[in-house]
Structure 1
Amino acid sequence: MPKKILAKGYTTGTCAQAATKAAMQMLFTGEKVEKISVELPQGEHLQLDIVDIRMEYKEDESLPEEVTCAVKKNSGDDPDITNGVLVYSKVKKNTLEVPEEGQCEKQFCEAKASNRKKRAGQKKYDRIHIDGGTGIGRVTKPGLNQPVGEAAINRVPRQMIRKEVEEACEEVGYTGGIDVVISIPEGVRLAKETFNPRLGIEGGLSVLGTTGIVNPMSEQALIDTIEVEMKVCLAEKYRYLIIAPGNYGLDFLKEQYSIEENDVVKCSNYIGQTIDMAMEQGCKGVLLAGHIGKLIKVAGGIMNTHSRWADCRMDLFATAALRAGIDGKKARAFLDCVTTDDALKKCSEEERKKIMEQLMIRMEEYLNYRTKGEMEIGVVTFSNVYGILGKTDKAEELIYAFVKERS
């Protein structure tokens, strides 16, 4: 019986992008837009339906003063709690005068709603203001994708939204300001089922996505897909594999070692099961490469790294700090960090090195325990901020064997 091909979906970021593009068109034309095509960060195009359109007019005005519309989130075969929610974008012309060059923005901010005041003192006025409304979380702790006080709309979705606003303004020659407010009414309720409150994102969901596409994560089907990928990589009688949880690892391997994505097995959260399958396929050696935020869990023996099973990153980081001889008060402070990058930022270079040495020792121990000594295994981990953070003893040897086998 053929295996089911899992349907892809699209992210909340893509929904926000499409709703914004449609709303901008309606703002400038006054004509309803019920379908819209958007270009995603990697060049893919999607056509999405626009729903719940609302246009508000001033008296005697032919064009709307404000437009709100939504896109219904489709997660494909991914078991995502946001599947089916409506992601809204409200756009409005900002008619306040733009401050002259060099003028402090403080007066401008004070004239706006209170949530704009935090932008006071910026050197350059940004005529496009993107914010979160109902159901979008607000960042309350440092170390996340956005600064404290900002709406939890991540960097790439912000770029996607901004692109649509800029292109719409350029097309009609509009040079004034635009306010964009993204909202997910169901987000207040759904956020309670996520780790957002624990991470310091209060009041709603995050608007996420780096590619705009949701790849399916149905557990058994995904494990089957990993196995198929592995068999393809081993079809030429290769005996060494490199596995990576996701896109960060793939990008790192290409940049650091010129290893192409098609030569890497993407294991998602299923590190342990992927290692088991590699042993079953007779692999001689496997290198695991990934971001510290994911792989730090392996240092605790956690082989399924999805947050619903375990999120002890800061506990493991603090423990490694104590093992490295870091002061107990400072080690305890790591427990209040929300990301590994945030914790690493609080360390000196020497402290980072010592902590990572301890974490790599633990990763190696647990991975060797998993393989029972029947297969060589190594790890290389990195941070987008600090680059390569650590390698186990056999990491370089395994990379060399992998490259040599394919040369």
Structure 2
Amino acid sequence: METESMRSGYTTGACAAAGVRAALLFESGEPWQEVMLLALDGTPLHIPVKAVWRTAGGITAEVVKFSGDDPDITDGVSVYTTIRHLAAGDGIVFRAGEGIGHVTKRGLSVPVGEPAINPGPRRLIGKVVEDMLGADAALEVTISIPAGVKLAKQTLNPILGVEGGISVIGTTGVLRPMSEEGFKNSLVPQIDVAKEAGFSTLVFVPGKIGERVALRYGLPREAIVETSNFIGFMLEAAEKRGIARVLLFGHIGKLAKVAAGVFYTHNRIADARLETMAAYAAAEGLPAGGVKELLHANTTEDALLVLQRAGLQARVCDILAARASARAERYLFGRMKVGTLMVTLAGERLGMDETARHIGEDFGWDEQEMKKDKTM
């Protein structure tokens, strides 16, 4: 199989743990150029160390991140780990250096105010320290990834409440090529953060179009959750966490698929946009010639022009929105209320059902902005 030949790498957490081992080896006069770690799942990791040196604050080691065949944004960046011995009884104290964020919102695996160094890396570093210095060792560990200041802008960290840089992550220390399951699970913490912020109603956006327009409509940023193509998975995750209502908010090209019962919306997996629009347009009286024209449209935006000329755009889009909500609620066996609001690429409101209207009103959305869009 293709995945069997793909190379694994090691996480930023494993880089930091290797840096701790290398710094302690350097301190004791032993070779440090390559260290061996046992990942938390028992996988042996052989990690090269680029450099180790003494500083005014202790001993610093530099390890270059290797992501294998995973498309990880931190591949090739330097992870710097500085150790400093503390007074007996202080235990291991973690500090955030340059490029490492701090947690500012509840709901993540690290408390508010702490460096964004996840539990997995903390445990892995703890194992290294215990192995080399004993269970009662007291050590300050400062992790820095200078490139993290810029890289954080390419992550969900600003939404999740990690400010000032990236997180030091890794469940075991081994970085295997990103699976679909791994990517899906990386989206879920958004729900936890929103819930901890006090929101029992969330706004699900498949991408940046929905997010941008939702903010323009006055919906709260803290309640907005990006789902990517995994709408069904994220709906289930929200229901399991006790979320009461979800507003599906985004471009008609994605949400028309949900109206057809498609909950994984990647275009290579399912692309029923035009067929769904054509079916509901035909049911509302679009003549056969118009249906054929709609089916041969290049994009959903082109298809909307067909509906517009026939005077059916508002009616069909409202039906599609209601249908998307109904299919989503059926998908969840009625355990959560779902509303849907569809927009164009330009942000013009197309279709909306009653649940969506109620959610928007409860959030106090900008009615004037919505009316302005409707007449564009």
- Please give the TM-score of this superposition, normalised by the length of structure 1: 0.49
Structure 1 residues 31-110: aligned runs within 5 Å = 31-55=30-54, 66-95=58-87, 98=89
User: What residue is the counterpart of 2:149 in the other structure?
Assistant: 188
Structure 1 residues 19-34: aligned runs within 5 Å = 19-27=19-27, 29-34=28-33
Conserved 8 A contact 2:19-2:49: yes
1:136 corresponds, among 72, 77, 100, to 100
Conserved 8 A contact 2:85-2:140: yes
What's the offset of the Cα at 1:46? 1.0
What's the offset of the Cα at 1:38? 0.8
Structure 1 residues 239-388: aligned runs within 5 Å = 245-246=180-181, 293=191, 302=206, 312=211, 335-336=221-222, 352=242, 354-355=244-245, 365=259, 367-368=261-262, 370=270
Question: Equivalent pairs: percent with the same residue?
Answer: 35
What's the offset of the Cα at 1:192? 3.3
Conserved 8 A contact 1:299-1:366: no
Q: Secondary structure at the match of 2:152?
A: helix
What's the offset of the Cα at 1:187? 1.8
What's the offset of the Cα at 1:77? 2.4
Cα distance per residue 1:274-326 (max 9 Å; x no partner): xxxxxxxxxxxxxxxx89959x99965x4xx8xxx67859x69xx9xxxxxxx
User: What residue is the counterpart of 1:13 in the other structure?
Assistant: 13
What's the offset of the Cα at 1:212? 2.2
Q: What is the CA RMSD across the aligned residues, in angstroms?
A: 4.7
What's the offset of the Cα at 1:78? 2.6
Separation (CA, whole Å) in 2 of partners of 1:292 and 1:392: 21
What's the offset of the Cα at 1:138? 1.6
User: What residue is the counterpart of 1:162 in the other structure?
Assistant: 126
Give the structure with higher Rg (CA): 2
Alpha-carbon distance change, 297 to 216 in structure 1, aligned in 2, over 3 angstroms: farther
Separation (CA, whole Å) in 1 of partners of 2:176 and 2:209: 22
Code of the aligned partner of 1:130: F
Conserved 8 A contact 1:143-1:338: no
What's the offset of the Cα at 1:93? 0.8
Alpha-carbon distance change, 35 to 134 in structure 1, aligned in 2, over 3 angstroms: same
Q: Secondary structure at the match of 1:16?
A: helix
Cα distance per residue 1:177-220 (max 9 Å; x no partner): 21111111222233233333343322221111213233335xxx
2:148 maps to 1:149:
no
Alpha-carbon distance change, 69 to 366 in structure 1, aligned in 2, over 3 angstroms: farther
Q: Secondary structure at the match of 1:21?
A: helix
What's the offset of the Cα at 1:44? 0.9
What's the offset of the Cα at 1:49? 0.6
Separation (CA, whole Å) in 1 of partners of 2:54 and 2:143: 16
Structure 1 residues 195-274: aligned runs within 5 Å = 195-217=156-178, 245-246=180-181
Separation (CA, whole Å) in 1 of partners of 2:153 and 2:243: 36
Alpha-carbon distance change, 175 to 213 in structure 1, aligned in 2, over 3 angstroms: closer
Code of the aligned partner of 1:365: A
User: What residue is the counterpart of 2:322 in the other structure?
Assistant: none
Separation (CA, whole Å) in 1 of partners of 2:168 and 2:26: 23
Conserved 8 A contact 1:89-1:182: yes
Where do 5+ consecutive residues of structure 2 fail to align?
A: 193-200, 227-238, 249-254, 276-327, 334-376
User: What residue is the counterpart of 1:235 in the other structure?
Assistant: none
- Please give the TM-score of this superposition, normalised by the length of structure 2: 0.52
Separation (CA, whole Å) in 2 of partners of 1:144 and 1:150: 11
Alpha-carbon distance change, 154 to 177 in structure 1, aligned in 2, over 3 angstroms: same
Separation (CA, whole Å) in 1 of partners of 2:121 and 2:209: 27
Where do 5+ consecutive residues of structure 1 fail to align?
A: 58-64, 99-125, 223-244, 251-267, 270-289, 320-330, 341-348, 375-390, 397-407
Separation (CA, whole Å) in 2 of partners of 1:36 and 1:178: 19
Cα distance per residue 1:118-148 (max 9 Å; x no partner): xxxxxxxx51111211111122233333222
